[in-house]
Structure 1
Amino acid sequence: MSRKLPHLLATRRSKTILATILLFYTLLSFHSSNKRLFSQFYPNKKDYTILPTTSHSQNLNLKADVSFNKKKNELHDLRDQLSFAFPYDPQAPIPQRVWQTWKVGTGGKDFPSTFKTYQKTWTASSSSSPSSSEYSQYSLIPDDSIIPLLENLYGTVPLVVRAFKLMPINILKADFLRYLLLFARGGVYSDMDTTLLKPIESWPSQNKSWMDNIINVNTPIPYKNLKVSPVIDGKIQQQPGLVIGIEADPDREDWSTWYARRIQFCQWTIQAKPGHPILRELILNITATTLMSVQDPGLPIKVVLDPTNDEDYNVNYRYQRRNNETYPHSESKNNKNVDGTDIMNWTGPGIFSDIIFEYMNNVLQHNNDILLINPNLNKNEEEDGASVSTSEADSSALSKSTRRFYKKISESLQSSNVMPWEFFSFLKDPVIVDDVMVLPITSFSPDVNQMGAQSSDDKMAFVKHMFGGTWKDDADRNAGHT
């Protein structure tokens, strides 16, 4: 036994040394692998920003191609990664695809029967509905298919999938998902509690004769940087890349009590081409806001966020909360429930509207060929009649017309390249800003009996929202509204 003991100890010592060497090699390999992966995000040692700001992009032309070194596979930040994974082709047609989402599929016992009626208006197979679309593909995404789908679509942009999984409540995920689907594949997204009133093929964005006619009867509006005609041979060269509607246009002093923004864009129905830069900026903002807002994002948030604009992604500084001295702005982490979550400004119509305005201002300031068309600024025919006095016109026709803001719109565009909210107020006809088409409130909100919305029979009524969501009161309250 005494002879075997030294041999046994030597064997154990050898095994310990060998295990230590293997462990060290494993750690070294893991560190090297991480370093290689890390270098794709941080090509330079001093460049640690992978989540750039979306609110302070004055030095970047958001419409132009985002630059990165494809040969070296250097994707400097999330904006680069999204642009590389989903390049935008403004000349491509809008995909003939309809997206909707719900907790379960149509075959599930919990799928509401009323939704089946609404759904038939969107599906190409529904011959019983005169409004049903001829679009070639309809997709209803149930909850249990969302993560596999996103991992497939956004596998090369893992931060986006991570942010989606980390969102504390499903309402945020529902908003985020619609942007992600349209950015990756394009088409039309519409909530389950909506009905299609007219075939998508008849919408202005799809109607070539309408697009040609709007140029024939409307002169492009000048702005300060305009130097090159945005119209070639008297025609618009492509379909709009993003089609949105007005959700709210409250012409009243207490508008902020009821709505997130003075002009608020609708996000229950959106039409888009894949890769549109506005959706890219929105996804970047929501991803960064989510990583900033959750308790454990799984990465060093102070390293990956732009430290010079650290309030950009703190939802507690947005809009009315910024000026609320009693609110704990420094508390960037948000509760895991509806009561403590500012849905409007995290993923909802508040941040949606902000990103759209920020993008429009950016392209006006960085490009000299942006198309601006607004038929609503044309004179009303009755104003040309001798029987109508100037005072009568001012008090009647002008009081509920975009023309009421003509002077402010002109001064804002021609002196500072800034798109004022008034450009979209009192719309009765669609307007065009570059490749973004904004439809009047009637288009996606007919029959609401306020803010100038007309009935479902109106020529500009395309989708009706049945307002089945029950979370909006909570969302309004958490945005600082009563």
Structure 2
Amino acid sequence: MSRKLTHLFATRKSKTIIVALLLVYSLLSFHLSNKRLVSQFYPSINDNRKTLLPTTSHSQDIDLRKQVAVNRKKNQMHNLRDQLSFAFPYDPQSPIPKRVWQTWKVSTDNNDFPATFRTYQKTWSGSSSPHYQYSLVPDDSIIPLLENLYSPVPLVVKAFKLMPINILKADFLRYLLLFARGGVYSDIDTVLLKPIDTWPSQNDSWLSDMINTNKPIPYKNWKGSPHTSDKISHQPGLVIGIEADPDRDDWNDHYARRIQFCQWTIQAKPGHPILRELILNITATTLASVQHPGVPINEMIDLRYEKDYNVNYRLKRRNDENYKHTELKNSDNIEGSDIMDWTGPGIFSDIIFEYMNNALQHNNDILLVNPNLNKNDDGSGSTTPPAAEADSGAMSKSTRKFYKKISESLQASNIMPWEFFGFLKEPVIVDDVMVLPITSFSPGVGHMEAQSSDDKMAFVEHKFKGSWKDDVDKNAGHKS
């Protein structure tokens, strides 16, 4: 009997049948697994039209830092925040993936790829980062890629397709890539000045020195230990830089926020909750703001906060009775402030501050480290009490200038003030978020205390070859 079986399995026909059966089994297993995943979100085929879209502006009852989607048989996830959390779980102890993402209209092997950009692109894909997987996503690959990555959350892809202009899609795409796969995203008109592995976020000795030489800053809920070297035994989950720190009375005429975070270069672990909240906000805003979104939007949003979902109520226009808030007509809505507050640095900065405040209010162990509060403007250690220095005017361009405001805001209200990030010269840690000074991603701009590109804190230089202020599609990386 055993001899007959051996002969049977030895024939070519038998091998083909066995391989075919294994292939069918694998395909069926994959299909059933995917079906189970989708069914956890949508019990019936049409339920994806009624996924709830919570507002990110009123999340005071939720600990966003610990938000984890729990799948229960009778508690399917109809909430987009839960769906995103489940599809892309966050592991704070994992390393930052060694990936680099960029986008452009065509791939690098296309003759239409700009020669100048090819020079910039090689700094990211060449010998300076040999252990990093480099991916440039051209236009014709974007939708297939997103449909693959975000198949469990199709509303996100739908929102991307509905965006009326390409600069919005360009902003949204960078968040989507990092949230799903992590790594570093940088605009195509940027130059890598120092290898990624030398950045503070990747440098264990830099991180440990930063923690061990600076006491954690207390806040109202703080009950942590002063011995916090173990609190950052892993890399930060999100690394961002300062884009704008305009110390002038008319800052509001030139910038979206008093402290504005840069989003032309971002480093992140996949699933980071700040990116989740950003994607939730942009998806909900888009579906509620464009005409004919194809979903019953009034059944999906929280009608108590209806204005939160309409980009035309953002910022100064919110209280402008003469502005036609509800008359949004697709591509007509391309004012600079709309882009800033829809997908750009405005909403990016808002979500970061909202998340930090939420974390402080719901947790008693958030690590706050700011070496800039312990040093003079020249970087030397200070033995003079901050209040005395402030009175003498010795800190005109130092974070120490804001010491009293920072201390009062944190210890009285668990509120992260913008001043915490003013005039940074060294990186700052807020839980697992690292904020780099303006010099890191904006060296040589000639204002706001940014230093030259050869400074020790300069890592990426933005060439501004595709400023959307001149032509909103020029730096979008997408077809018109």
- Normalising by the smaller structure, the TM-score range is 0.7 to 0.9
2:79 to 77, 80, 86: 77
Label 1:251 to 1:341 Cα distance change in 2 as closer, same or farther (>3 A): closer
2:369 to 362, 370, 373: 373
Task: Determine if contact 1:105/1:111 at 8 Å carries over to the other structure.
Answer: yes
CA distance in 1 between partners of 2:438 and 2:150 (Å): 33
CA distance in 1 between partners of 2:66 and 2:416 (Å): 19
CA distance in 2 between partners of 1:53 and 1:306 (Å): 7
Q: Name the counterpart of 1:23.
A: none
Label 1:282 to 1:138 Cα distance change in 2 as closer, same or farther (>3 A): same
1:55 to 44, 54, 57: 57
CA distance in 2 between partners of 1:467 and 1:167 (Å): 24
Label 1:443 to 1:473 Cα distance change in 2 as closer, same or farther (>3 A): same
Q: Name the counterpart of 1:258.
A: 254
TM (norm. structure 1) is: 0.84
Cα shift at 1:341? 7.7
Which residues in structure 2 correspond to 1:230-245 (within 5 Å)? 232=228, 236-245=232-241
CA distance in 2 between partners of 1:392 and 1:370 (Å): 27
Label 1:327 to 1:216 Cα distance change in 2 as closer, same or farther (>3 A): same
Cα shift at 1:118? 0.2
CA distance in 2 between partners of 1:428 and 1:152 (Å): 41
CA distance in 2 between partners of 1:273 and 1:469 (Å): 27
TM (norm. structure 2) is: 0.85
The SS at the match of 2:240 is strand
Task: Determine if contact 2:288/2:310 at 8 Å carries over to the other structure.
Answer: yes
CA distance in 1 between partners of 2:459 and 2:72 (Å): 42
- Point out where structure 2 has 5 or more consecutive residues left out of the alignment: 1-40, 473-480
Task: Determine if contact 2:175/2:275 at 8 Å carries over to the other structure.
Answer: yes
Which residues in structure 2 correspond to 1:316-327 (within 5 Å)? 316-327=312-323
- Give yes or no for the alignment of 1:424 onto 2:421: yes
2:392 to 387, 391, 394: 394
Task: Determine if contact 1:68/1:76 at 8 Å carries over to the other structure.
Answer: no
Label 1:472 to 1:152 Cα distance change in 2 as closer, same or farther (>3 A): same
The SS at the match of 1:437 is strand
Q: Which moved more, 1:189-198 or 1:223-232?
A: 223-232
Task: Determine if contact 1:263/1:421 at 8 Å carries over to the other structure.
Answer: yes
CA distance in 2 between partners of 1:80 and 1:391 (Å): 48
Q: Name the counterpart of 2:108.
A: 106
Number of corresponding residues: 428
Cα shift at 1:342? 1.1
CA distance in 2 between partners of 1:35 and 1:286 (Å): 21
2:273 to 265, 273, 277: 277
Give the partner amino acid of 2:458. Answer: A
The SS at the match of 1:210 is helix
Cα shift at 1:72? 4.4
Task: Determine if contact 1:104/1:111 at 8 Å carries over to the other structure.
Answer: yes
The structure number with the bigger radius of gyration is 1
Task: Determine if contact 1:375/1:431 at 8 Å carries over to the other structure.
Answer: yes
Label 1:182 to 1:231 Cα distance change in 2 as closer, same or farther (>3 A): farther
CA distance in 1 between partners of 2:42 and 2:404 (Å): 57
Cα shift at 1:194? 0.0
The SS at the match of 1:268 is strand
The SS at the match of 1:464 is strand
Task: Determine if contact 1:99/1:189 at 8 Å carries over to the other structure.
Answer: yes
Cα shift at 1:50? 0.7
User: RMSD value over aligned CA atoms?
Assistant: 2.4
- Point out where structure 1 has 5 or more consecutive residues left out of the alignment: 1-33, 43-47, 476-482
- Give yes or no for the alignment of 1:37 onto 2:50: no
Cα shift at 1:236? 1.8
Task: Determine if contact 1:98/1:135 at 8 Å carries over to the other structure.
Answer: no
Give the partner amino acid of 2:68. Answer: V
The SS at the match of 2:467 is coil
2:355 to 354, 359, 372: 359
Give the partner amino acid of 1:37. Answer: S
Cα shift at 1:322? 1.6
| Sequence identity percentage | 73
The SS at the match of 1:266 is strand
Cα shift at 1:238? 1.6
- Give yes or no for the alignment of 1:456 onto 2:463: no
